Amino acid sequence: MTYLNLPVIGRFFFFYQIIKLGKWKGNMRLSNKSPIGFIGAGKVGTSLAIALHEVGYRVTGAYSKSISSANNLSNAIPNCRTYSYIKDIASNCEILFITTPDDSIESTANSFEPSSHNSLVHCSGAKTIDVFTSAISKNIQVGSFHPMQAFSSIENGVESIPGTTFGIEGTGEIRNYLSEVAIQLKGIPVFIRSEHKALYHLSGVMLGNLLASLAAISANLWSQMNIDVDTALEALTPMISQVAVNLQTSGIPQGIAGPYVRGDVGTIESHLEALVKYSPNLLPLYCELALAGLPYAQMNGLNKTNHLNIKELLETYKSHPKIAN
């Protein structure tokens, strides 16, 4: 029997069951038409707000302790307004992205009373949805939506979002909503369990923030050659891009190259001697990084003899007497 052959009462129960089971798309409460508000208008919040608007989401409100920051966000998006009070943005926006510094997320979420129509989302890579304990206890849907990306500026942030992986947690409908948001942003959604959140964020910090620090340290070595840092960065940063391409196209360990893979013991020793002469305090850092990478060099062709020779060399130099106490 088809739907059209059912009596009126049968049709009623047919639709009732579809709605009850959530199989009718029209039953989905959250969509790209749901009004979104941003609480916090820094680089991440403003970049994400603009990117959401550009792919058709309704970003209608901005709040920040800095009125000028909130105005910068709202002025960048048509029909978006600045709110002076969190309770007002919560009343007028269905989905609230809390994009404050990590340590302020919980206190911000607890500073107002969300209603049943609200969903709360933070963008921290380290914090879990447990910061929304109060909201969860009131059956408010909560989630986290972290872009695995470095936001040096709003303009660069918006441009870098396509292709970015988004670490997602969520309760109820918000989990699937955030996954769809990532896809619409041309990103990659990945669901992260709460107990793995710190490990997930650590990997991003090591490759993002600490890589930038390593680039700065490497560039500063050029000052020993009386060459300015800007020139050094101009020379070194294309290597970062190429390493990323190598890893994306060839994977690990094939994307790893250099003297450690080739087993150039003499070259490595010359590096260590240069550090002894010019920057001995960098010896422990260099040696520990090299030792951590040796297993991958071995997987990519470094022979056993050279592996042992290089390891012994690094172990010796990392405690060199010229290292300052």
Please list the residues that pair with 162 across neighbouring strands: none
What is the per-residue pLDDT across 38-83, written as a single tens digit (0 to 9) for each? 999 999 999 999 999 999 999 999 999 999 999 999 999 999 999 9
pLDDT in tens, 190-211: 999 999 999 999 999 998 889 9
pLDDT of 28 over the 80 cut:
no
274-323 pLDDT per residue, tens: 999 999 999 999 999 999 999 999 999 999 999 999 999 999 999 888 88
Name beta bridge partners: 146.
Answer: 167
Q: Which neighbouring-strand residues pair with 39?
A: 63, 98
Q: Residue 157: is its pLDDT beyond 70? A: yes
DSSP string, 235-288: HHHHHHHHHHHHHHHH-TTTT--SHHHHT-HHHHHHHHHHHHHH-GGGHHHHHH
Output the six-digit token pair for 157: 């942030």
Can you list the positions of beta strands (E) in the chain?
A: 36-39, 59-63, 81-82, 95-98, 119-122, 141-147, 165-170, 188-191
